[in-house]
Structure 1
Amino acid sequence: MRKTLLALVFVSSLPVSTACSAENDMRPGLWEITTTSDLLRLVSQIPPDQMQSLMNLAKQHGVDMPQIQNGAAMSSVCVTQKMADQKIPPGFYQNKSGCIAQNATHAGNTYTWDFVCANPKLKGNGTAQAVFANPENFTGRTEFDGVAQGAPVKEHADISGRWMSASCGAVKPPQ
């Protein structure tokens, strides 16, 4: 059960950086991203040694685990001008977790895309949507259906983002 929970928390943390990567209606700079899900509410039940294993697994995929409290994961993401100008989300999934973003669409202030994950630890598909209230605020949702470390996963997460500053400081953009 705990191994499954670890895998599910990892899956739930994947979309954090991607949802903030919509296109040119987004202001470049430092963004604070908050992700909430039923799964994240279970994090407090993970023993510290297993949480460390989860953090190590995330690092293997190039993902820094966000701070998780009260069912919400908060992270800081640096969005470059190039990322803000792209018509599709940057290659976060492909480069970091073995997932590929595809079928990106844009209608008004709403951006949607699909993602497919096909690696030994994570297989399945998902969708993501971000709606920008303005260039400095968005809300969104991700859905994922697949298998994480051999355990079936059907999870969704609600995401919000707000622009913090033009300078990213020490926060590096996703590669």
Structure 2
Amino acid sequence: MKTYKTCIALLLGCAISTPALAVKIDMTPGLWEHKFTMTNPSGEMAAAMKQMQDQLANMSPEERKMMETMMASYGVGIGEDGTTVKMCITQEDIDRGDLPQQDEDCQQEILEQTKNKFKIKFTCAGDPPSSGTGEITFSSPKAYTGKSSFVTQVNGKTEEMAMTQSGKWLSADCGAIKPVSDR
């Protein structure tokens, strides 16, 4: 189960960022909410997500506040059930087109890019190692959907994983969540 938790942390990083490449997308700066789901054929990913959700639900208000404060300092806000995160994206982040990746052990390549869509392939040498492809499509400057599929090592065996995600712009004011570029 520990490897699945590591995998969830890795995927959370992927879910909340675009690659550290020159991605030029028409999006609105401000506070964004990102939702994601992950699946694998064995069903163990769903069990690990449920365990994480139960742990979040069982935190005391003080523990939850401490975790939220720490995550906000990294530019991330976590939703009640652990499947949503909030991030602050500035106009400068968008203009640079290099919104940061979360895992420095990953190599990424843009396969296709238009004004509202990009596809990437990636290889991550971390623990666990993984490789795959992903695609994000913006339906408007304030909303997107995405999907990715990848192969990773889980408990010493190769597993295929799939992730779907969506995002929506919430407001121009990011509140206590620091911008991505401030991390």
State the TM-score, normalizing by the size of structure 2: 0.70
Percent same amino acid among aligned pairs? 25
Q: Of 67, 81, 85, which aligns to 2:95? A: 85
Unaligned stretches of 5+ residues in structure 1 = none
Q: Which residue of 2 aligns with 1:100?
A: 107
State the TM-score, normalizing by the size of structure 1: 0.72
Measured against aligned partners, the alpha-carbon deviations of 1:85-136 in whole angstroms (never above 9, x if no partner) come to 244x52323xx452233225312421112222113x1322122211111100
Q: Structure 1 124/8 Cα, relative in aligned 2: closer, same or farther at 3 Å?
A: closer
- Count of residues in correspondence between the two structures: 160
Q: Which residue of 1 aligns with 2:63?
A: none
Which structure has the bigger radius of gyration?
A: 2
Q: Which residue of 2 aligns with 1:112?
A: 119
Q: Structure 1 68/42 Cα, relative in aligned 2: closer, same or farther at 3 Å?
A: farther
How many Å separate the matches in 1 of 2:148 and 2:78?
17
Q: Structure 1 20/163 Cα, relative in aligned 2: closer, same or farther at 3 Å?
A: farther
Give the superposed CA RMSD. 3.4
User: Runs ≥4 in structure 1, deviation > 6 angstroms?
Assistant: none
Letter in 1 for 2:83: A
Q: For the Cα contact (< 8 Å) 1:40–1:68, is it kept in 2?
A: no
Q: For the Cα contact (< 8 Å) 2:146–2:164, is it kept in 1?
A: yes
How many Å separate the matches in 2 of 1:63 and 1:41?
27
Tell which deviates more after alignment, 156-165 or 5-14. 5-14
